[in-house]
Structure 1
Amino acid sequence: MLDLTQKSVIFFDMDGLLLDTENLYYETRRQILNKYGYSYTQKHHARYIGKGFTDTICRLKKFVGDEKLGKQVFTESMELFQTAIENEKLPLKQGALQLLTMLNEKGKSCYLTSSSSKEIIMQALQKTQIEGSFDKIISGEEVNRNKPMPDIYLRAVEIAQTNKRKALVFEDSKSGVEAAFQAGIDVIMVPDWLPPSKQEMDEVTAVLPNLEEALVFFTERNNRRKPNDHFDYHEPFC
């Protein structure tokens, strides 16, 4: 029986898990690449999901075949992304607010562990008004190696001063799941753009269609599913 009531420290990814930012990243990057004459599809974008900004810049340089232009594409697309956050509503993913609220009420310690820069993280959290839900924010800028390497979660455990057995990770991407798994922390996957692979299914504690489904697992005597139960998907993936 999947019982998460003993988990006292919860680590959350941000993009694609708490916030519906992945479509915005895709659209802003596509617009800038199109401006320079490059086609950028959802299939292309899938290779960037869950990666840190350093990795993204390297991939863009290879994509356009020019180091200077690759960096320029990244800079312009991020400027467009930040403008979009300011001018448009940045939606929370289903169940995000409910889960954070419940965990806070139960006295759980919540940490944000995102590959994004601190500037982007703070802008997004302030826009969605969930900044106060977290004990601390840990960005990809604080570690030498970003996801899928385990550094950010090893650092998070150190900051939280907790035992790994008491910690739990929520992730949406392959690289995030791998980072948590390599760090030796239980991880629940809530896929966004891509469905889980067989390897990811083997590495996670559970796969959920949304964060709302996690609420019951933190409630005593209301646990109905066994560890490694995996939900059927009813929403299409890009």
Structure 2
Amino acid sequence: MKKAVIFDMDGVLAYTENFYFKRRMNFFDELKIEPTTRKIQDFIGLSSNMIWEMLIPKDEKKRELFKEKYLKYSKEHKINFLEVLNPSTKEVFSKLKEKNIKIAIASSSGKQDILRMVKECELDNYINFMISGEECKKSKPDPEIYIKTVKALDLLSTEVLVVEDSTLGIRSGKSAGLMVGALVPKDYYMDQSEADFQINDLIEVINMISLEKFKG
């Protein structure tokens, strides 16, 4: 049995991707500016810097100006994490804690967003470690965030399972030498071919960690 599960946040613990995508598109619509892409898949798993480099690729000054405006806009249009929390998250966390399996969150989201999600959804008592992409030198698909998390949990790579959804997140976990399960998105397609297995509901994690072939 694995001794820890590391979860990505967006698209795994909380279905935030659609909200963030729509908020971003509304922001551009209000400014009457056409973004470089209107495909949600193009944004999944990217850090904030990567998103803005994609949206405004050639003009750094313009990019920073828009980022500043969007920061204000996002504060005026905050996400309600309770509304987008994966319905299985609390049950999964509770069952993992019962089995004395450590729980960590490793997300490209900003640390304040991670902390707010955890607090608003009352997940504090379940989590052993949290890390944001802001605390790493390199973003996913670089393995840094997962290497740091495994080290903080004081475990071997064979004792850890990662749950991701995005192509970049899956690659990050695999590059760190970890077993990665992919939660299949309900509203859009995501290439998850590099994952070790796929699940359709987060609750499936409970059974997967107990399987003989997944033992550390």
Shared fold per TM-score greater than 0.5: yes
Given that 2:160 and 2:178 are in contact with CA atoms closer than 8 Å, whether structure 1 keeps it comes out as yes
Aligned to 2:133: 140
Aligned residue for 1:211, secondary structure, equals: coil
2:186 counterpart of 1:195: no
Match of 1:209 among 197, 200, 211: 200
Superposition pairs of residues 110-125 of structure 1, within 5 angstroms: 110-125=103-118
2:186 counterpart of 1:185: no
The residue identity in structure 1 corresponding to 2:195 is: V
**In 1, distance between residues paired with 2:99 and 2:213?**
23
- What is the CA distance between 1:119 and its match in structure 2? 1.0
Match of 1:54 among 49, 74, 89: 49
- What is the CA distance between 1:93 and its match in structure 2? 1.5
Shift of the 82–214 alpha-carbon distance from structure 1 to 2, 3 Å rule, reads farther
- What is the CA distance between 1:9 and its match in structure 2? 1.4
Over residues 43-83 of structure 1, what are the superposed CA-to-partner deviations in whole Å (9 max), with x where a residue is unaligned?
Answer: 43321210112212222222xx5333323433443444444
**In 1, distance between residues paired with 2:160 and 2:80?**
36
Superposition pairs of residues 61-100 of structure 1, within 5 angstroms: 61-62=56-57, 65-85=58-78, 89-100=82-93
Normalised by the size of structure 2, how large is the TM-score? Answer: 0.87
Match of 1:159 among 152, 156, 160: 152
- Percent of aligned positions with the same letter in both sequences? 25
Over residues 74-112 of structure 1, what are the superposed CA-to-partner deviations in whole Å (9 max), with x where a residue is unaligned?
Answer: 344344444444667432114221111100111111111
Aligned residue for 2:70, secondary structure, equals: helix
Match of 1:22 among 17, 36, 39: 17
CA RMSD of aligned residues (A): 2.5
Aligned to 2:165: 172
**In 2, distance between residues paired with 1:42 and 1:190?**
24
Shift of the 52–119 alpha-carbon distance from structure 1 to 2, 3 Å rule, reads same
Match of 1:150 among 143, 149, 153: 143
Given that 2:36 and 2:55 are in contact with CA atoms closer than 8 Å, whether structure 1 keeps it comes out as no
**In 2, distance between residues paired with 1:87 and 1:51?**
21
Given that 2:108 and 2:139 are in contact with CA atoms closer than 8 Å, whether structure 1 keeps it comes out as yes
Shift of the 15–204 alpha-carbon distance from structure 1 to 2, 3 Å rule, reads same
Aligned residue for 1:168, secondary structure, equals: strand
Given that 1:109 and 1:134 are in contact with CA atoms closer than 8 Å, whether structure 2 keeps it comes out as yes
The residue identity in structure 2 corresponding to 1:111 is: A
Q: Which structure 1 residue ranges, 5 or more long, are not aligned?
A: 1-5, 228-238
**In 1, distance between residues paired with 2:128 and 2:163?**
16
Aligned to 1:32: 27
Over residues 168-222 of structure 1, what are the superposed CA-to-partner deviations in whole Å (9 max), with x where a residue is unaligned?
Answer: 100010000000011110000003254343xx42x32210112022232345xxx
Given that 1:92 and 1:128 are in contact with CA atoms closer than 8 Å, whether structure 2 keeps it comes out as yes
How many equivalent pairs are there?
Answer: 213
Shift of the 83–133 alpha-carbon distance from structure 1 to 2, 3 Å rule, reads farther
The residue identity in structure 2 corresponding to 1:18 is: L
2:101 counterpart of 1:108: yes
